[in-house]
Amino acid sequence: MKSKFNTVAICASSKGKKINQIANQCCEVLLNQNIKVYLNEGLSEVATVNKAKVVNDSTLKKSDLIIVIGGDGSILGFARQYGYLGIPLLGINLGNLGFLADIAPDNITTSLTDIMSGKFIRDKRFFLEASINSSKKTDIALNEIVIHSGAVAQLIEYELFVDEKFVYRQRADGLIVNSPTGSTAYSLSGGGPIIHPEVKAITVLPMFPHSLSTSPFLVKDQSLIQIKMIGKKNKATLSLDSHHSISLKKGDMISIKKTSSNLTLIHPKGHNFFSACRNKLGWSSNLI
């Protein structure tokens, strides 16, 4: 049976013997199906034992599918770099939680064979983008965009607007704006709700607000969220997926919205979000 993907790239953001072993196994499965295989530069050692080719960034962008070896952090990085361009991503999980990278190393051969034959699920996720003071320059995040003080127990002051309507003025340690994908990441640790990936919503979550009546809330995914920095002594930072930080000053207006580009994740048949929650978060673990 002809593969659904003609050219597959295998990528990793770190190096190690285990990663090389998994990459070699992936190469073997794919090359046996006459699929062209690319490797990113971090996997150069793998290319010496098979016919896979180490390529540069521009060539990786020509792939039909990118297999990421690592945890969800690796998926986030390659999602911003390649998934944002429309290239589907498939994750082999070497991390702890693995909500995005869900193929276990023990299931590589079976899972890859099935996926290459067309037995897979496409999972669409949206990105968030942020701009400052109406700048045309934007930065993207898959999980969350965070405004924070950068110090423990240090408050920042801001005004929040949704679709140009005033919501509240607040003092807090920070504010998390996250997609459903990010609801099982930083937002979860901050007390935010878990949002099913198919729910078209954005979460707004204050971090330790200086108010007893402020709670997280959801808005539609088409909303424009704006935060104006107003505190006299604000020393705030804008952080995107914890990978990129920008210093903010009094008077800055941060605009956050959904991007027009989506990430496509590839999952094996039978993938289930609630099953992942049970396995990763220990749901039902106290029941016999």
For the chain, the domains span 7-118, 127-260
Among 140, 177, 163, CA closest to 262: 140
- The tokens describing 132, both together, are 């400052």
Predicted local distance difference test score (pLDDT) of residue 276: 86
CA–CA separation, 138 and 287 (whole Å): 47
Predicted local distance difference test score (pLDDT) of residue 95: 73
CB proximity list for 279: less than 8 A, separation 6 or greater: none
Predicted local distance difference test score (pLDDT) of residue 232: 74
- The tokens describing 67, both together, are 């297999």
* Locus of tokens 């499965």: 29
Over range 130-148, report the average pLDDT.
96
pLDDT tens column, 10-51: 999 999 999 999 999 999 999 999 999 999 999 999 987 788
pLDDT tens column, 186-220: 999 999 999 999 999 999 999 989 887 889 999 99
Is residue 106 part of the annotated active site? The answer reads: no
At the top level of CATH, the class of 127-260 is: mainly beta
Domain covering 7-118: architecture: 3-Layer(aba) Sandwich (3.40)
**Cα angle at 5 between 61 and 274, to 5 degrees?**
95
Active-site residue, from 72, 123, 139, 252: 72
Provide the mean pLDDT of the chain.
92
CA–CA separation, 171 and 159 (whole Å): 9
pLDDT grade, residue 1 (50/70/90)? low
pLDDT grade, residue 285 (50/70/90)? confident
Over range 136-147, report the average pLDDT.
96
CA–CA separation, 264 and 50 (whole Å): 28
Please say whether the beta carbons of 102 and 267 come within 8 A: yes
Whether residue 233 has pLDDT greater than 90: no
Among 29, 39, 40, 38, CA closest to 3: 29
CA–CA separation, 192 and 257 (whole Å): 19
Predicted local distance difference test score (pLDDT) of residue 128: 98
pLDDT tens column, 76-120: 999 999 999 999 999 999 877 678 988 999 999 999 999 999 999
pLDDT grade, residue 127 (50/70/90)? very high
Please say whether the beta carbons of 236 and 150 come within 8 A: yes
